[in-house]
Structure formats: structure tokens, C-alpha cells
Amino acid sequence: MCGIVGYVGYRDALGVVVDALRRMEYRGYDSAGVAILDGNGGIAVERKAGRLANLEAELDVADGAKFAGTSGMGHTRWATHGAPTDRNAHPHRDPSGKLAVVHNGIIENFAPLRRELEDAGIELLSDTDTEVAVHLVARAYAEGPTAGDFTASVLAVLRRLDGAFTLVFTHADHPGTIVAARQSTPLVVGVGQGEMFIASDVTAFIEHTREAVELGQNQAVVITADSYTVTDFDGNSDVTSRPFTIDWDLAAAEKGGHDYFMLKEIEEQPTAVADTLIGHFVVDENGGRIVLDEQRLADQELREFDKVFVVACGSSYHAGLLAKYAIEHWTRVPVEVELASEFRYRDPVLDRSTLVVAISQSGETADTLEAVRHAKEQKARVLAICNTNGAQIPRESDAVIYTRTGPEIGVASTKAFLAQVAANYLVGLALAQARGTKYPDEVAREFAELESMPKLIARVLDTAPQVRAIARELAHVPTVLFLGRHVGYPVALEGALKLKELAYMHAEGFAAGELKHGPIALIEDGLPVIVVMPSPKGRAVLHSKLLSNIREIQARGARTIVIAEEGDDTVRPFADDLIEIPVAPTLFQPLLSTVPLQIFAAEVAQARGYDVDKPRNLAKSVTVE
């Protein structure tokens, strides 16, 4: 959460910083601010509560000469400590006005540090945990063993801080230098020609460079226009940071003519799934095999696992529920799916024969990262599914599958979710291959079916006009229920989550078999119920049972919106609205049935006048617990 950018170079820093904040606003939009070094011993700061547009309006009427510098930084905030007000917006400064900081995350020991500062007679002007950091650095710079040394002062303070944080400092006496650090929250360096960038996300600087460096845990970096130096918090330079080249361009981070990023990202799903699958099946003398992106686990180790845990949050958790069906079906190994936020607190039974699959789009999700660390402490092995090359979760894992979706800007996950589902199927096939529960030709056949799914997803996108029309009709209703069986149940959960996130309405997903155990009491005249039907061929028994459920709720006045396989005429008489998807193998059907639910949620939100990309109270990456 929170978007951070820093720049040192030859360009107009204000333009670079504001453009970067615009591309990162999805990370936080409670407030925004900039700090630009004017080169004459001063820092010009402007900050404003609310969306970035509020800050831009202030800058439009500000004295442009004040902001005419080639070094600076900016911030979009997702509030943790202190309300989203002007006074709590970043950057924060010390009393001299020469030192400024922006911050992502939480400084957990800020309360005693704040008391220490207040006891020393320092007045803090905000309710944030962030402000203590700038005052501590200012004091270290003014007195003691680090006096006058900007970098050493920052490092001395970093060693006192507890929590998960990214901090970026700039000082008017050092206008060509920015000092930044990370502890459990993301930070990446952009390496340009005669310019350097620091940001929480590569989208901040993709317009200017594709060369980047991923910082490791508990590392600091000093950037100037021509160099960067990475150290640990003690100042030791014998540390490892990972250079990489970004494999997408600026066009991928822009709307491309769509009203919202989410609509663009829904349409990009066939490509996202196809790109995620590329390179994961290699032909060999046995016909072919599944390979992972980074594999530090031998086939022998994959054979020895007797239990799998999947840990994730939000939409990634729903993708994990689908992984359970595939892995258990193909390998006969028991799978438990856990909310990452609960995983380590219930003391799960883990050992060297346990595989933990950690799913996180950003690779920095705080709860999932801590679940990974707990698993590693218990000697379990970890396989990460992640969309961010080199992020902390894959760095700490034993194997990785990257979902190659490019940037996903819309806060509500769409293409990343579908790519995670596809990646989970790769995990299942890799385990089945290693364990010998599927012959090589069977693995090849399943992979070929999976490869055919992007074309079918593209066909589902053709249903968009019909789904949007239904959504506009139902935009006024207070509640929508979702029903599914087998793999349709996680799809129902995901559909309900999308509607909650985007349209701020009551929505619940249920396993249809539980309907008569309580939820049927919610059915009343006119209540919309979206039903995800299984195939009448692949799951005939479940199909007939779910058909009975539809009859039961329709008899009680519900409006039934049914997602069913093309040619499933048995359901047509009981569907007030029928949305048809292509025929697909049972396990792969969620790659199709999820898409209409995404379109539905986005259209309801639009019809209700809400910002589809930036739902209230949410941020894209949850980097604090």
C-alpha cells in the first residue's frame, strides 16, 4: 500500500514525480504529496487530502519557480496511522524544513519513539507514525556521531525502527542524493542514463527506463543521478540486490482507450493466461514435462510431500481453493487451503514432507509473507505463485511460477486471478508428473487442454453486452447471492467478493448444497441469485442437484441468472437470464465462468457511479498486517 517515488536526474522533477504518482495512485488515494529540492538550499512541499487530482489542482496555482528542481519525491497514501487529512499527508518535514520523508508501511514502535521526541521538546504536527522518522533523522544529523552525514544519520535511525516499512529521505543540503530503505515492504531502483529512480512499483518509472534493481530485505540504497549504492542497515555493502529488465512497456500500464483499467484488464485475460503458460511445457525424450520458472526442488522432493497447504488472501485465496480440486484430483495428495492471515496463528502441523504453496500477486502481501516465513521455520518447502519478478515471497521460496500478466492497475483483481488459477493447475501437473500419478502423455494432454483455454476466454468476452445489460437492470438492488458446486463454489465466492469490492453492496457466495442449511431463508421475491452451473456431462450428478436448487429458489421468487455450458438446454426453462460459456473440462471451467462475474461487478459499480479502479478503503497491495 502507498505509492512512493523518488527521482534524481536532469529532468523537471515535479513532472516526473506527478506522472509516476498518477500511475501508482491505485496503491493509495487517501492523500498525495510531493517534495522538490529547489537547488538553493530549500525543499518545496505540497500535499493534499483526497485523490491525486486535488494535489494537482494545488500545484496548478502554486508558484512554479518553487518547484523548479531536478530532484524530488512523491507519495500517494493509504492511511494507517491518522485520518486522511492534509496534516497527515506525506511528505513530512523536520522543524528546519530541510529534511523530508515519505513512507509506506507501519513503524510498530512509533509510540515510544514519539514519547521520546516529545520529552525532548519536539512538537509533532501530525498523527502519523511516519513523522517520528524524520525528526529522529534530523536529530541524528544535527548531533552525535553521525552529525552532518546524511546517509549515516538515516541508517542509524533505521536500526531503531520495528515494523514493515519503506522510507525515502531527501535533504536540502544534499540536493543530488536520495536515501531510501525497505523492511518487508517493496522498493525498487530504476536505473536510467544520467538519472535514477526509486519507487514502490516499476510502473512509476517505466516511461523512462526498463532497467531495475530489486532490493532485498533490510536493505538501504543511496541514489544520485549517476549511481546507486546498496547496503544493509549497518552500512555494509556486501549485500545482494538483483538487477532485472522489465518485460513490458508503458502501454501496458495505460488504459488504452478504456474508461477504466479494470475493463482493459478483463479484456487482457486471454493473453495473461497464455503468457503465464508459455515455457512451462518442454518436449523431451519422454514426450514432455512441466517445468517451473525457478525450481530449487528436485523431483525426488516433490515425490516425498505427503501434504500440501495453500496460503493466500482475498482473490488469491479463491484461486487457492481451485488449486485444491486440481492437486487432489491429479495427485491424490491431501490439500488444505488457508487464509494467510490465520495460518501461523493456529499452529499448523508442518515438516519437511509438507509443501506450502503461497499465492500473492505482488509478492509482498504481508500476511502471506509471514506465512511463508513460518513455514520455512518449520522446515516445510515453499512454492510461490507471483506476478512480480524478484519480489520478497519468491525470493524466500524454494520454487516459483510467475504469472506473466504485466501490471494490473485496477485494485480488484481480474487478469491476475485467472493467471493464478492457471498457475495452480501447472503446480498440480508438476506434482502429478513428479509423483507418477499421471503418465507423461496424460500430463501433455492436460496441458494441451489448458493451452486451449485463452481462446475460450476470448469467446466468453463476447457475452459482455448481455452481462452489462443485466447488471444495469440490477444496479439498484441491495443484495445479490451467488451459488456454485464443486469448482463453481470458489467462483461464486470470487463473484461475491468482486461485487462487494466495487459496488459496496451486500453479496454472498454459497456452496449450493448448503442452501437448505440456512441461506435459503434469505430468498425473497425479486432477489437476484447468480448460479454457476457445472457441466451436465462432466458432473452430471452435481448438475441435477444444482438444477433442483434453482427450482427451489425460483419457487420462492428469486430472479435466477445462470452461467451454464453452451448446449445445456436442461437449465434454460429455469433461468430468468442465461449466460452461456464454451464447453470446457470441469477443472478448467472457472477460467471461463469467472469472467462474466467480473464484467457484472464492474458494470454495477459504474451504474452506481463508483470508481471501478479505486474502490473505497482498498489498496492494490496489502503490505502491512
Q: 620 catalytic, yes or no?
A: yes
Q: Where are the alpha helices (DSSP H) in 196-347?
A: 261-267, 269-277, 299-304, 314-331, 340-343
Angle in degrees, 0-180, between the axes of helices 590-607 and 464-474, rounded to the nearest 10: 50
C-alpha cell at 186: 517493496
Q: What totals of helices (H) and strands (E) does the chain contain, helices first?
A: 19, 27
- DSSP assignments along 301-312, one per residue: HHHH--EEEEEE
Question: Side-chain half-sphere of 371: how many Cα atoms within 13 Å?
Answer: 31
Cα 360 off chain centre by: 7
Residue 599 near residue 471, CB atoms below 8 Å: yes
DSSP 518: T
Instruction: Fill in the amino acid letter for 227.
Output: S
Residue 150 near residue 179, CB atoms below 8 Å: yes
CA-based nearest residue to 544, from 555, 557, 533, 559: 533
List 2, 324, 386, 614, catalytic entry: 2
CA-based nearest residue to 259, from 606, 618, 619: 606
CA-based nearest residue to 17, from 59, 50, 49: 59
Pairing state between β 92-93 and 289-290:
unpaired
Residue 372 near residue 354, CB atoms below 8 Å: no
Cα 398 off chain centre by: 21
For residues 483 and 562, what is the distance between their CA atoms, to the nearest angstrom?
10
Question: Side-chain half-sphere of 339: how many Cα atoms within 13 Å?
Answer: 6
Give the chain's largest Cα–Cα span. Answer: 81
For residues 549 and 531, what is the distance between their CA atoms, to the nearest angstrom?
9
For residues 434 and 447, what is the distance between their CA atoms, to the nearest angstrom?
15
Pairing state between β 196-199 and 3-8:
antiparallel
Q: 386 catalytic, yes or no?
A: no
List 264, 415, 614, 620, catalytic entry: 620
Q: Helix (H, G, I), strand (E, B), or coil: what is residue 528?
A: strand
For residues 7 and 249, what is the distance between their CA atoms, to the nearest angstrom?
19
For residues 362 and 313, what is the distance between their CA atoms, to the nearest angstrom?
12
Instruction: Fill in the amino acid letter for 484.
Output: G
Residues labelled as active-site residues: 2, 620
